Structure 1
Amino acid sequence: MEPSSSLIDGAFWVTTGAILLLLVLSGFFSGSETALTASSRGKLRAQADKGSRGAQKALEITDDNERLIGSVLLGNNLVNILAASLATALFTRLFGESGVALATLVMTLLVLIFAEVLPKTYAITNSEKAASAVAPIISVVVTVFSPIVAAVRLLVRGVLRLFGVQIDPDSNILAVREEIAGALQLGHSEGVVQKEDRDRILGALDLGDRAVEEIMLHRSNIEMIDADDAPEAILQQCLKSPHTRLPVFRDEPENIVGVVHAKDLFRAMYAQAGGNQGDANRLKEFDISKVANDPYFVPETTTLDDQMREFLRMHSHFALVVDEYGSLRGLITLEDILEEIVGEIADEFDIEEDVPVTRTEDGQFLIEGAMTIRDVNRAMDWSLPDDEANTLAGLVIHEAQMIPVIGQVFSFHGFRFEVTAKDGNRVTELKIRPL
């Protein structure tokens, strides 16, 4: 059925123009929603710092994504419904009852191509640029529609609450770390991000989730100075030690009375002896407690992030770790925390240690039981869980729910674990193979 020429009048062209304008507005709303939600806040922040007002406005309106999306969707639905209604009225006038089906077909194609796919494709390709451009206009839209959106938000939250669903307003903030970690893992798997770069960034992000007890040097491995030792023995011990700072105890190792710095000790002993022309016998009167600094104790549950801030604030690099009863658990240094980010830091005074991971001829790996799970994962690019245990030995004992014996084999988390060496109840070596 051909439309009559008498029906194509001024009203026809006004309606057609209104439909086209509404399609443009629909495309604007669709593209704006995609650009503002897909753009990187980090990149927008960098542009805003350089003076971009559009980027600054985009950051402001994306602070409340729920209100932003509600306003954009409200505007988009208004123009889409109005455009469809005008098209239906226009096609019904031209083609009669068949105009309803024809209007549905035509508007579906027009909305899909020109109001959805085209603007969203451009917005995804140029998200930050598009977000900066549309932010000032969308800001006005959000302000105008905010009362309606607020009412809709209350209604939606009320309905969701009836079904036991709670909306966390800080969920987007809490997801930032997971988003960064996921992007790093994806980039590493695709060969875009180097393993070392991934480990450094993830190490820095993990500082707030890890406690000092996870990386501290256990008290059984701490080198200490007995305050009651002869000054000559103390001097000899400090000269042989690779460490700059040593805890000083009296009567028993649990009773830490101070921490001595090697330079302070040498200066004090040099002065006590009387300098170059002095008498070494005068060292017998030397009292190390007068040289030692007050010990700095920290709880074992302190996070690495907090402890690093305390080290920087106090201009200190050394702390003794205690449990809830005040008993000595170990020690931690600023270098230990930094190594969680950049990896092992070695200098000319560090004692060379054997390689902690040895590959056997049959393709398995011999690893010390005391090696932390995090270090193993970083060295081998594995993903063993470290929620319940800090070391490989601890993980095996936790999963086995027993103290294993030499030769015992376990399989969990996609790996085969064989106990190859023990010292008392302590598992000292494991043979591991991915399944």
Structure 2
Amino acid sequence: MEHAASMMDVTFWTTIIAIVVLLMMSAFFSGSETALTASSRAKLRARADKGDAGAQAALNVTQDSERLIGAILLGNNVVNILSASLATALFTRLFGSGGVALATLVMTVMVLIFSEVLPKTYAISAPENVASNVARPISWLTVILSPVVAVVRFIVRGILRLFGQRTDPGSHMFSLHEEIAGALSIGQETGAVQKEDRDRLLGALDLGNRTVEEIMRHRSEIEMIDAATPPAEILSEVLASPHTRLPVYKGERENVVGVIHAKDLLRAVNRAVRETGNPAALQTLDVMSVAMKPYFVPETSPLDEQMREFLKRRTHFALVVDEYGSLRGLITLEDILEEIVGEIADEHDTEADQTLTPNAAGDYTVEGGMTIRDLNRQLDWNLPDDEANTVAGLVIHMAQSIPEQGQVFSFHGYRFEVVARRDNRITKLRIRPLAGNDQAEEG
């Protein structure tokens, strides 16, 4: 009798210890899964570059996410089922048939608290640290369980194929750019990232998705020089212009034959006057001899590629043409940089203040040629720029006509009033956000 009681004690405590160990293993698997899936690969890479072997192991083990998750879930389910079975056997021996329900209740609470919520909460609070610590044992586990995981993966993929679904473990639901953009937006909302910093980083990321056409200065706004103009008048035009580079045309504005740099022209004038000692020598100056060869780019060029071309050619100025070779506008390196850092103003800019400020009614007065992207960036609005690049273009697109001065429209949650129009161009608008999302159009 005493021997049976002694055996009962040994079995009881052995089973208790086994259940505790299994619960600890379950906690390890749960915490490891959360840490390895929630950790930032960028942060792990930064740690690995500094010599953290655990971070490098975490990067290696997460390369095949399907294999990793399969191994962890297999190990977690095995220990959970085994611990539940041991608990059922123990409680049945102690309380009879009623022990099954009691074992289910106790093990549910134990697994939920100690094997799921507690380890996952800890892991999510410092995922990179936990991932670095658990990466090596998890990598060993994936190697040991790889045959079983391979069979499971084959079965799962076969079932998914029956429903027309194919899996690609190497693919990601979101691109890297989208992940960064989302992180920056969340950081700005929580106050961890300043709006200006977010705009700069998003502007740099977005260069590849934007084309020259979207930010170029339209040909109607380009200051140009007629090659037939007397040299003295050309010098006066160059000195009066706020720009250092001016296109030169012959006959018609479409026929651009060169680009004059103010410094080159001034050097040529100075050289001609000094050599002859006669200021009248300016009248015989050949302006085309100092003009640079024009550089033409297609309007469909992505901004990131165009910026690389500017740097490669060591030039800052290009004329934009369409598919037929017709002049559409011009673009400079500064225009591209402004897409990243915002408006760059200097002492020669003609606009005194680029900052938009509302009037008493909350209206913002903007130029019709202002790009929607710049307006959204300055005021943190979300006007769409899919159908038009400029504010005036958006109004014309939505109105399906060229509005008259004084007309008012409401769309996309904003009120637009045409303040000024010149010929067929809307030159100035007054905009304010509406209290609601009224999409109806007013005539």
SS at match of 2:253: strand
- Are 2:420 and 1:406 equivalent residues in the alignment? no
Listed one character per residue, the Cα deviations across residues 331-385 of structure 1 (whole Å, up to 9, x for unaligned) are 1111111111111111222223465745333332222222111111122221111
Judge conservation of contact 2:343–2:354 (CA < 8 Å) in 1. Answer: no
Specify the alignment match of 1:383 in structure 2: 382
- Are 2:381 and 1:393 equivalent residues in the alignment? no
Structure 1 93/358 Cα, relative in aligned 2: closer, same or farther at 3 Å?
A: closer
CA distance in 2, matches of 1:50, 1:373: 43
SS at match of 2:309: helix
Describe how 1:10-29 pairs up with structure 2 within 5 A.
Answer: 10-29=10-29
Specify the alignment match of 2:156 in structure 1: 156
How high is the sequence identity, in percent, across the aligned residues?
66
2:351 is aligned with what amino acid? E
CA distance in 1, matches of 2:402, 2:170: 43
Judge conservation of contact 1:357–1:366 (CA < 8 Å) in 2. Answer: yes
1:210 is aligned with what amino acid? R
SS at match of 2:312: helix
2:420 is aligned with what amino acid? A
SS at match of 1:252: coil
Structure 1 153/391 Cα, relative in aligned 2: closer, same or farther at 3 Å?
A: farther
2:136 is aligned with what amino acid? P
2:8 is aligned with what amino acid? I
> Structure 1-normalised TM-score?
0.91
Unaligned runs of 5+ in 2: 435-443
Listed one character per residue, the Cα deviations across residues 280-329 of structure 1 (whole Å, up to 9, x for unaligned) are 34444433333222222221111112211222222221111111111111
2:250 is aligned with what amino acid? R
1:269 is aligned with what amino acid? V
Describe how 1:233-382 pairs up with structure 2 within 5 A.
Answer: 233-275=233-275, 278-353=277-352, 357=356, 359-382=358-381
1:341 is aligned with what amino acid? I
CA distance in 2, matches of 1:283, 1:199: 48
Structure 1 369/150 Cα, relative in aligned 2: closer, same or farther at 3 Å?
A: farther
CA distance in 2, matches of 1:156, 1:257: 66
CA distance in 1, matches of 2:15, 2:223: 88
Judge conservation of contact 2:44–2:56 (CA < 8 Å) in 1. Answer: yes
1:141 Cα offset (Å): 2.0
Unaligned runs of 5+ in 1: none
CA distance in 2, matches of 1:223, 1:33: 62
Listed one character per residue, the Cα deviations across residues 137-178 of structure 1 (whole Å, up to 9, x for unaligned) are 212222333444344344434444444545465653744333
Structure 1 154/307 Cα, relative in aligned 2: closer, same or farther at 3 Å?
A: farther
1:28 Cα offset (Å): 0.6
> Structure 2-normalised TM-score?
0.89
1:107 is aligned with what amino acid? M
Of residues 85-94 and 203-212 in structure 1, the stretch that sits farther from structure 2 once superposed is: 85-94
Specify the alignment match of 1:61 in structure 2: 61
Judge conservation of contact 1:365–1:432 (CA < 8 Å) in 2. Answer: yes
Instruction: Name the Cα RMSD after superposition.
Output: 2.4
CA distance in 2, matches of 1:188, 1:53: 33
SS at match of 2:243: coil
Structure 1 362/40 Cα, relative in aligned 2: closer, same or farther at 3 Å?
A: same
Judge conservation of contact 2:64–2:170 (CA < 8 Å) in 1. Answer: no
1:128 is aligned with what amino acid? E
Structure 1 407/233 Cα, relative in aligned 2: closer, same or farther at 3 Å?
A: closer
- Alignment coverage as a number of residue pairs: 431
Specify the alignment match of 1:223 in structure 2: 223
